[in-house]
């Protein structure tokens, strides 16, 4: 499809399932619905039987009335048809209601599984795949899948109807039935011709929709930055080609789909003409009654509708299967962080040891780096043969230029990413053998820009330990920074934080994040300090909060503030993933090496002496 598919490549975790695998997977979801589905099957058979019976009844009555036109039998026929129609409605309604319920239930579970899989993914997964695309899989793809399952159930009913009708018609006139059947391959060929085209356009259409959603989502989340840099026009212009591509793909999809029906209708017209002609000849020859002829023409409509439906269903079926495939691929995406055990450290002391650790972000999913891969260009390794021991209770400040690997060390301790070489030991236990849930429960992480959820401040703090009582949350909140900060909130801890904490100041957000960690009472704290400068009052407040959080715990601080490096037990200076110096502030400063240089270019500006010096000028 050339340019239509440009830039719409499958995701790295997409995979092709065989039809058998797909069906097995779908059947597994339907297993709990077995009872409902059995009733649906029964109702489908009964509805098809009744629906076939009506035209047969009319045809036979026609012949009888022709021979003996009595008013009472006409009234009886009308009553019987009404009764059969009502019965058909009951069966069809039962079938639809129950199947809708069953499908809704299946989609519910599928969405749960997809969402569960998404939340379980490692952070590296989110680096690679924008949230918009993931949202589209969990949301629209499951929806498309449910539609196709409902359609397939209708299809089964239709097929049954065709079988019953054809069987009956073959008794009435074998010759005419064969003509009817002889035309069926034409429809099937037309349907198959559309099939491949439909599947391709549908896949393109899904991908392009995901791309558009993801583009909009990314733009909206970064709109603040865009406005600051007056980039509104530029992002609008970036949106245009994405939208244009979406338009082209959608147009193409609509074109393919709208071509199906006219072609099928034309074929139906030819078939009707043939049957009318040959049916008339048969009646003339006395081999068919008028009722039989009527039944054939009526039957043709009944036969044609399901057959064209099957043909159009087929492409719909492709849509649903492609969507199902995408959801399953999301559920099955391989974890990169692989745990080999589930050890629980009862009382973690917070002893951390990196032993010859090698780490790169460039590892392909699910693969170990072997042989030639080990010779990745040096530039791709973030850490190589990296050794570091952090003692229990130690506050370690990591410093170094941007990109030197500070955050990566924090991410490895948090086990957010898989490393490729060496070992990381926590209290002597291999980090790979730990029960991640239990381990992370004792790990406190404060990110640079603390993320608060839409909810009250109290709820945000409780996020650290959902079972904490109001009193416990309040006690922790009062502990951080002396608790004065709560007064500055309009409704105290009941203040709504707003989306991403928008209603709170940066400093307040930091404090809430610290309180959240404090409530969790972690053994190890990873703190990524904000680089943005803050006013001295907030700085003092945060420092007090930090003192609480760091006291008695092992802390790894990606340090950006002078007060932190000054008070840290040890400073580790990194350059391109290597430790080039370590020691305390005074010692490193006296040494006049890389740290001293960093201090002079970065940290010194934050010192009181420097600020006073500038003020005095």
Contacts with ligand ATP by CB under 6 A lie at 127, 361, 382, 400, 402-408
Given a contact cutoff of 8 angstroms between Cβ atoms, the answer to whether 365 and 334 are in contact is yes
Q: CB nearer to ligand ATP: give 158 or 404.
A: 404
Min separation Cβ 229 and ligand ATP, Å = 20
Token pair 């006409």 is at which residue? 74
Min separation Cβ 402 and ligand ATP, Å = 3
Q: Name the DSSP letter for residue 600.
A: I
Given a contact cutoff of 8 angstroms between Cβ atoms, the answer to whether 275 and 228 are in contact is no
Q: CB nearer to ligand ATP: give 145 or 417.
A: 417
C-alpha span between 140 and 25 (Å, rounded): 19
C-alpha span between 492 and 152 (Å, rounded): 56
C-alpha span between 96 and 118 (Å, rounded): 32
Best CA proximity match to 306, nearest among 156, 179, 86, 137: 156
Q: CB nearer to ligand ATP: give 348 or 405.
A: 405
Q: CB nearer to ligand ATP: give 127 or 484.
A: 127
C-alpha span between 222 and 129 (Å, rounded): 17
Strands 421-426 and 570-575: unpaired
Listed in sequence order, the residues at least 6 apart from 98 whose beta carbon sits closer than 8 Å to its beta carbon are 36, 37, 39, 40, 43
Min separation Cβ 44 and ligand ATP, Å = 52
Q: CB nearer to ligand ATP: give 403 or 498.
A: 403
Q: CB nearer to ligand ATP: give 139 or 407.
A: 407
Q: CB nearer to ligand ATP: give 95 or 336.
A: 336
Min separation Cβ 559 and ligand ATP, Å = 10
Type and span of the H or E element at 526: strand 524-528
Min separation Cβ 573 and ligand ATP, Å = 11
C-alpha span between 142 and 115 (Å, rounded): 11
Min separation Cβ 21 and ligand ATP, Å = 32
Number of DSSP helices (H) and strands (E) in the chain, helices first: 21, 10
- Extended strands (E) in 391-514: 395-400, 421-426, 429-430, 443-446
Q: Which two tokens stand for residue 391?
A: 């003692």
Query: What's the half-sphere exposure (Cβ side, CA atoms, 13 Å) at 223?
Result: 6
Min separation Cβ 225 and ligand ATP, Å = 17
Q: CB nearer to ligand ATP: give 320 or 577.
A: 577
Cα torsion 20, 21, 26, 30: sign: positive
Min separation Cβ 460 and ligand ATP, Å = 24
Min separation Cβ 528 and ligand ATP, Å = 8
Min separation Cβ 529 and ligand ATP, Å = 10
Q: With 0-12 CB in 10 A as exposed, 13-18 as middle and 19+ as buried, what is 371?
A: exposed
Given a contact cutoff of 8 angstroms between Cβ atoms, the answer to whether 176 and 296 are in contact is yes
Min separation Cβ 198 and ligand ATP, Å = 37
Min separation Cβ 405 and ligand ATP, Å = 4
Given a contact cutoff of 8 angstroms between Cβ atoms, the answer to whether 137 and 210 are in contact is yes
Q: CB nearer to ligand ATP: give 400 or 450.
A: 400
Q: CB nearer to ligand ATP: give 326 or 406.
A: 406
Min separation Cβ 433 and ligand ATP, Å = 25
SS (H, E, C) 254-301: HHHHHHHHHHHHHHHHHHHHHHHHHHHHHHHCCCCCHHHHHHHHHHHH
Min separation Cβ 217 and ligand ATP, Å = 19
Q: With 0-12 CB in 10 A as exposed, 13-18 as middle and 19+ as buried, what is 79?
A: exposed
Q: CB nearer to ligand ATP: give 468 or 565.
A: 565
For 26, 275, 590, the CA distances from 31, given in Å and listed in that order, are 9, 44, 72
**Secondary structure (3-state) at 424:** strand
Q: CB nearer to ligand ATP: give 176 or 357.
A: 357
Q: CB nearer to ligand ATP: give 229 or 361.
A: 361
Strands 578-583 and 554-558: unpaired
Q: Name the DSSP letter for residue 558.
A: E
Given a contact cutoff of 8 angstroms between Cβ atoms, the answer to whether 206 and 323 are in contact is yes
Strands 570-575 and 395-400: parallel
Q: CB nearer to ligand ATP: give 406 or 509.
A: 406
């Amino acid at each position: 499809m050339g340019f239509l598919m440009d830039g719409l490549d499958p995701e790295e975790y997409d995979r092709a399932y065989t039809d058998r695998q797909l069906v097995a997977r779908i059947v597994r979801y339907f297993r709990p619905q077995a009872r409902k589905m059995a009733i649906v099957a029964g109702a489908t058979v009964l509805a098809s039987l009744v629906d076939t019976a009506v035209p047969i009844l009319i045809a036979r009555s026609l012949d009888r009335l022709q021979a003996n036109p009595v008013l009472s039998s006409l009234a009886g026929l009308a009553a019987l048809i009404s009764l059969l129609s009502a019965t058909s409605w009951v069966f069809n309604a039962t079938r639809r209601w129950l199947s809708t319920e069953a499908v809704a239930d299946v989609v519910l579970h599928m969405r749960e599984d997809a969402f569960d899989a998404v939340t379980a993914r490692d952070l590296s997964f989110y680096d690679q795949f924008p949230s918009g695309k993931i949202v589209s899989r969990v949301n629209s793809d499951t929806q498309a899948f449910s539609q196709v399952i409902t359609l397939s159930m209708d299809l089964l009913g239709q097929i049954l109807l065709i079988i019953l009708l054809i069987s009956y018609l073959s008794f009435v006139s074998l010759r005419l039935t064969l003509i009817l059947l002889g035309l069926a391959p034409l429809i099937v060929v037309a349907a198959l011709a559309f099939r491949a085209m439909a599947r391709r356009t549908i896949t393109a259409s899904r991908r392009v929709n995901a791309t558009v959603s993801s583009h909009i989502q990314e733009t909206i989340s970064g709109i603040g930055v865009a406005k600051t840099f007056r980039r509104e026009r530029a992002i609008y212009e970036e949106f245009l080609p994405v939208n244009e591509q979406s338009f082209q793909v959608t147009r193409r999809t609509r074109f393919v789909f709208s071509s199906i029906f006219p072609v099928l209708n034309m074929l139906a017209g030819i078939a009707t003409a043939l049957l009318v002609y040959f049916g008339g000849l048969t009646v003339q020859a006395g081999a068919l009654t008028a009722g039989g002829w009527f039944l054939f023409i009526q039957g043709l409509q009944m036969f044609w509708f399901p057959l064209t439906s099957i043909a159009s269903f087929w492409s719909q079926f492709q849509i649903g299967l492609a969507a199902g495939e995408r959801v399953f691929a999301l559920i099955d995406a391989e974890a990169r962080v692989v745990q080999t055990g589930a050890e629980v450290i009862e009382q973690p002391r917070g002893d951390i040891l990196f032993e010859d650790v090698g780490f790169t972000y460039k590892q392909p999913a699910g693969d170990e780096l072997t042989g030639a891969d080990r010779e990745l260009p040096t530039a791709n390794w973030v850490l190589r043969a990296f050794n570091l021991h952090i003692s229990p209770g130690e506050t370690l400040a990591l410093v170094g230029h941007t990109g030197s690997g500070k955050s990566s060390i924090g991410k490895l301790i948090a086990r957010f990413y898989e490393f490729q070489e060496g070992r990381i030991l926590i209290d002597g236990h291999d980090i790979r053998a730990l029960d991640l849930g239990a381990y992370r429960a004792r790990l406190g992480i404060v990110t640079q820009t603390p993320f608060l959820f839409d909810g009250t401040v109290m709820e945000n703090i409780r996020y650290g330990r959902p079972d904490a009582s109001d009193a416990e949350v309040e006690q922790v909140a009062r502990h951080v920074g002396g608790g004065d900060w709560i007064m500055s909130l309009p409704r105290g801890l009941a203040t709504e934080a707003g989306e991403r904490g928008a209603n709170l100041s940066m400093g307040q957000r930091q404090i809430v994040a610290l309180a959240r960690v404090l409530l969790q009472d972690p053994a190890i704290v990873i703190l990524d300090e904000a680089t943005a400068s803050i006013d001295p009052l907030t700085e003092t407040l945060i420092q007090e909060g930090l003192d609480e959080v760091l006291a008695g715990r092992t802390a790894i601080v990606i340090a950006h503030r002078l007060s932190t490096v000054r008070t840290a037990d040890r400073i580790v200076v990194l350059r391109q993933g290597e430790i080039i110096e370590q020691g305390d502030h005074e010692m490193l400063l006296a040494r006049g090496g890389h740290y001293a240089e960093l201090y002079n270019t970065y940290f010194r500006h934050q010192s009181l002496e420097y600020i006073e010096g500038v003020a005095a000028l």
